[in-house]
Structure 1
Amino acid sequence: MNFNISGLDELDIQILDILVKNSRTPYLEIARMCHVSGGTIHVRMKKMEDMGIIKGTKLIIDNSKLGYDVCCFIGIFLDKAISYNNVLEKLKTINEIVELHYTTGDYSIFAKVICKSIADLQELLITKIQSIEGVQRTNTFISLSQPIDRNIQF
């Protein structure tokens, strides 16, 4: 992709491209690849962090290796829009929810959930999500596989 982002030049884009491909690339290696000093990379990284383009780094864990074999998506219907903040606060306390979106369309909230088993998913739905005041009903989609896991490429 070719991005024209105000405040970024070709070196910044080159740095981002390297990090998207391997976020663990050391700054000195990036500097060598870009033919600049390590200090220049530090300054550019700080600039992009200050601009909010880089929001940190994250560890990616293979959940199935830890026994969490069920990935699903849950569409949550609210009884009324004013219930959103109360429901959101309750959903934030549920560790199995790894991603949450306030959406348009059929669902008010769309959640990505990771569980150990279908029995755990059932328990989660009944005792944790559907019991929240303001949740009218849910619609669950179990992911069978994830053939594409794409990051933005520059």
Structure 2
Amino acid sequence: MNDDPLNNLDRRILHLLQIDARGASDTDIANETDVTGTTIHNRIKGLEDQGIITGYHPEIDYEKAGYPMQVLFICSTDLSNRSEMAEKALEVRGVVNVRQMLSGEENLHVEVVAESTSEIEESTDQLDSLGLRIVSSNILAEEHIQPWNHFHQEFAGEDADTPDEIGSTDE
């Protein structure tokens, strides 16, 4: 296997899925990429099988869903325990996201969603009881997310993939 597991068609598929995974059919993506729907279906399945696509998740406006409190806890734990603590933090009520930082003191970022301040306090107590040291916490006002825009860009000097380069359109 080469160092780059993605070719331009795969990158374009990933970009289009990031824009609208729920609404983009194989046919829609095929029309955007000039290959067949079967090729798109097979490529998406391949990307899933390789673990490049790990799931399809809705973006939720928690405030509109009745959970107006969204807090980001910046935590500290021993680097040797970081993965284990991240898994345990995911079990805390209200935790929707845990990010492990590569190094440093503030090496675990835990996002909690709740209906009230008292629920945030419960989550805080549970995180503390796990042995996480909460360095700081911030109420999130808004989050802006966009698809990573480099998936759709072709690299300089590289032609777009043609069905011959990909193999048969039924692969």
TM-score range, shorter chain: 0.7 to 0.9
> Could you say which residue in structure 2 is the equivalent of 1:120?
119
Paired residue total = 146
Q: Which runs of 5+ in 1 are unaligned?
A: none
TM (norm. structure 2) is 0.71
Match of 1:152 in 2: 148
Distance 2:114 2:42 in 1: 41
In 2, Cα distance between equivalents of 1:13 and 1:29 = 16
Percent identity, please. 26
The one-letter amino acid of 2:14's match is L
Question: CA contact under 8 A between 1:67 and 1:116: conserved in structure 2?
Answer: yes
CA contact (8 A) 1:99 1:113 kept: yes
Give the AA of the match of 1:96.
Answer: G
Q: Which residue of 2 aligns with 1:43?
A: 42
SS at match of 1:110: strand
Matching of residues 70-149 of structure 1 within 5 Å: 70-78=69-77, 84=82, 87-103=85-101, 104-126=103-125, 128-132=126-130, 134-146=131-143, 148-149=144-145
Give, as a single letter, the amino acid of the residue that structure 1 aligns with 2:28: E
- Give the CA RMSD over aligned residues: 2.4
Q: Distance in 1 between matches of 2:39 and 2:81?
A: 49
Q: Under a length normalisation based on structure 1, what TM-score does the superposition of the two structures give?
A: 0.77
Contact 2:86 2:98 in 1 (8 A): no
Deviation digits for residues 59-98 of structure 1, max 9, x if unmatched?
A: 22221122111111112234x5565566445423213111
Q: How far apart in 2 are the matches of 1:7 and 1:140?
A: 38
In structure 2, the gaps of 5 or more residues are 152-171
